[in-house]
Structure 1
Amino acid sequence: MQIGYGTCNGTFGELVQGVLNHQPFLVTLPVPLLKSKATFIPDPTKSNIIAQPSQTKAVMACKRMFKLFNLSGGGYLHLCSNIPRGKGMASSSADIVASMRAVAHSYSIPLSHDVISNIATEIEPTDGIMYEGVVAYDYINGKLIDSFGYLPPFGIIGIDIGGSIDTIQFNKRRKPFSEHDHQTFIHAFHVIKEGMKKKDLALICQASTMSAKVNEKALPKRYFKEIERLAALCEGGVVVAHSGTILGILFDPTKLTLEKNRLEIEEFIQQTKTTPFYYCHKNLNLGLKPNSFMRC
């Protein structure tokens, strides 16, 4: 028994989300800079897990681990995260995963991705961020559908349009998707699978844009048309949190298209007065003003 540590990354929404042959699914968009870090201090004299009141879901996950692995005692759970809440960036999922990993480290328990997934989805619909790389994942039933490996170099310029979304309540709502929309989900799934296989970001952007456009029926986002236009100028795609408040441009940072449109993008973000988000794979230099975007 020792002090345990665990981490988990967040996401910038999802590359694709919908229904695949009657099975709900999403395709993850992990962002390494977004991180939840958990510390678990075991205490054999305690009979419960003590944490901040806002960390109830993470505590529930840890308690289920204690029961599953027949662990005795309790302890103190501390979480530190830079992932914004209620935005569709997997903040609570990351807390749950990081906390379980910290407990596993503390008690030297081999913890599989599937066990984490099963416990997490017992608590709430969850992102597939317990798995490595980009995956297709049934976020309601906690089932891994497919694993695609890692994205080719990519960048994201996004905005938060404000407010917050209760993911649990959102997922209870009936979605106004047509049969044509369901065919689009299937097409987007196969396009992104091909894009990941070929490491072709253009195909991945094509799939993410298809999914984002269909999702406008379920959760319309302010500035969507503007972001779609800017994404096209950058030869990129639109990416959104399908149950959140963020949307943005997914692009290839090795191309010169972003530099050509940099000023127009910066002016757009300034005019909207929204909270910007910036991420670039391996911190490639995009020529953007250092203070123009929020770095997480």
Structure 2
Amino acid sequence: MIPRAAAATTTPGTITGTGQAPCHHGEILQGVFLDAAGRRCAGLVTLPMAGPGSSAAFVRRPGAGPGALTVVPADRTKAARAAALTAAECARRTGQPPCGGELRLSGEIPVGLGMGSSSSDVIAAVRAVADSYGLRLDPPTVAALAVRAEHACDPLMLGGRPVLFAQREGRVLEVLGPALPPLVVVGCALGGGAPVDTLSLPAADVGRSDVRAYERLRALLRRAVATGSAELLGAVATASARRGQRVLGHPEFDALTALARRVGAVGVQIAHSGAVAGVLFDPTAPGLRRRVRGCLHALDAHGIPATRTFTTGTTPAHAKEIPHHGPAHRGVDRPAGPGTPRRPARLPAL
């Protein structure tokens, strides 16, 4: 916990805090790994993406009971739970009685595509409530609150560093390095962009050989980060995506990997809990523009909708944490306004 100055009071008796959180573009690697104690642990490495995220504003009302907490839009129940848990934690740390208030969320992250929409909402809510108490919670605390609120969360509270993250426990299994190798990603949506209900997916049967395979991919990804190899990263992402098809079973997967080979991409990555996918390119490869154009034409020919093309890697936006705390603390964030229902199957295009 980092104490901060009190957040701004907007009207008598209320105190407002704000928070933000980014999204991601699905996973590079996801599976079951061994932690430092040799225990099996579900883990993932996400692909960071600058762009749409969640913003939250929490209007704290001292004197209102802790049960008097509302959220707008009303369907963001996970974020509401996170706000209530955070309010109780912050009240305990500051010696104040817990109270209610109103949480308002806005954002343009599509739901169901595997881009971390619920985690982004939850983390933004945690930061906004903490901001209203004049606190900045450290990432492990934010992660613990997020897991309590939604049972699993993505590592969006950690900035752009590549980490192997235990999403059901809210802890880092390994920091893989300072930044991923630079990539150009041509994003697309499989299954016509239809949302994926992850709770309805069958549980994967993971045996010893699977854990050994995931550990080999972990070692290869560690080497890719250490050497800055986009080619090796692409191989890891493709292998992880292929293993994920045992559960997801995207009918376009074979076509996607084949067209990636034809246009000279280093691989593909697919969200393991959604429909978003990306064709990965080494930005230093000759004829990059031609390769990307060929990829877009091939996606169109196969009826796979392209979404956005973006870069990731060692740029400053991804090499350090994105500013995410309220104007009372950092002077950089805009307060969140009322949210509108998210469009379920669209990604903003560049």
TM-score of the pair, normalised by structure 1 = 0.88
Gaps of 5+ in 2: 1-6, 9-15, 35-39, 92-96, 316-346
Matched, 1:200 2:229: yes
Q: Secondary structure of 1:165's partner?
A: coil
1:136 maps to: 164
Q: Secondary structure of 1:59's partner?
A: helix
After superposition, what is the alpha-carbon deviation per residue over 1:175-225, rounded to whole angstroms, capped at 9, x for unaligned? 144544332211111111111122222221111111111111111112212
Q: How far did 1:244 drift?
A: 0.9
CA distance in structure 2 between the aligned counterparts of 1:41 and 1:279, rounded to whole angstroms? 37
After superposition, what is the alpha-carbon deviation per residue over 1:17-36, rounded to whole angstroms, capped at 9, x for unaligned? 00113211101211121311
CA contact (8 A) 2:26 2:114 kept: yes
CA contact (8 A) 2:19 2:127 kept: yes
Matched, 1:85 2:111: yes
1:289 maps to: none
Structure 2 residue identity aligned to 1:7: Q
Pick from 50, 64, 70 the counterpart of residue 32 of structure 1: 50
Q: CA RMSD in A?
A: 2.3
CA contact (8 A) 2:265 2:280 kept: no
Matched, 1:49 2:69: yes
After superposition, what is the alpha-carbon deviation per residue over 1:64-121, rounded to whole angstroms, capped at 9, x for unaligned? 0112222532222111112110111100001000111111112111301111111111
2:27 maps to: 14
CA distance in structure 1 between the aligned counterparts of 2:156 and 2:139, rounded to whole angstroms? 9
Q: How far did 1:49 drift?
A: 2.1
Gaps of 5+ in 1: 285-292
Structure whose CA Rg is larger: 2
After superposition, what is the alpha-carbon deviation per residue over 1:41-82, rounded to whole angstroms, capped at 9, x for unaligned? 222253322212111100100100112222532222111112
CA contact (8 A) 1:11 1:34 kept: no
**How many equivalent pairs are there?**
286
Larger relative contact order (C-alpha < 8 A, sep ≥ 6)?
2
Pick from 23, 27, 39 the counterpart of residue 41 of structure 2: 23
1:5 maps to: 18
Q: Which moved more, 1:263-272 or 1:205-214?
A: 263-272
Residues 281 and 262 (structure 1), Cα distance of their counterparts in 2 relative to 1, 3 Å cut: closer
CA distance in structure 1 between the aligned counterparts of 2:266 and 2:287, rounded to whole angstroms? 9
2:338 maps to: none
Q: How far did 1:129 drift?
A: 1.4
Residues 256 and 28 (structure 1), Cα distance of their counterparts in 2 relative to 1, 3 Å cut: same
Report the identity percentage.
Answer: 26
CA distance in structure 2 between the aligned counterparts of 1:251 and 1:80, rounded to whole angstroms? 32
Matched, 1:224 2:253: yes
Matched, 1:154 2:183: yes
Matched, 1:65 2:95: no
Matched, 1:261 2:291: yes
Q: Secondary structure of 2:188's partner?
A: strand
CA distance in structure 2 between the aligned counterparts of 1:192 and 1:139, rounded to whole angstroms? 18
CA distance in structure 1 between the aligned counterparts of 2:108 and 2:282, rounded to whole angstroms? 25
Pick from 237, 246, 256 the counterpart of residue 267 of structure 2: 237
CA distance in structure 2 between the aligned counterparts of 1:138 and 1:166, rounded to whole angstroms? 21
Q: Secondary structure of 1:65's partner?
A: helix
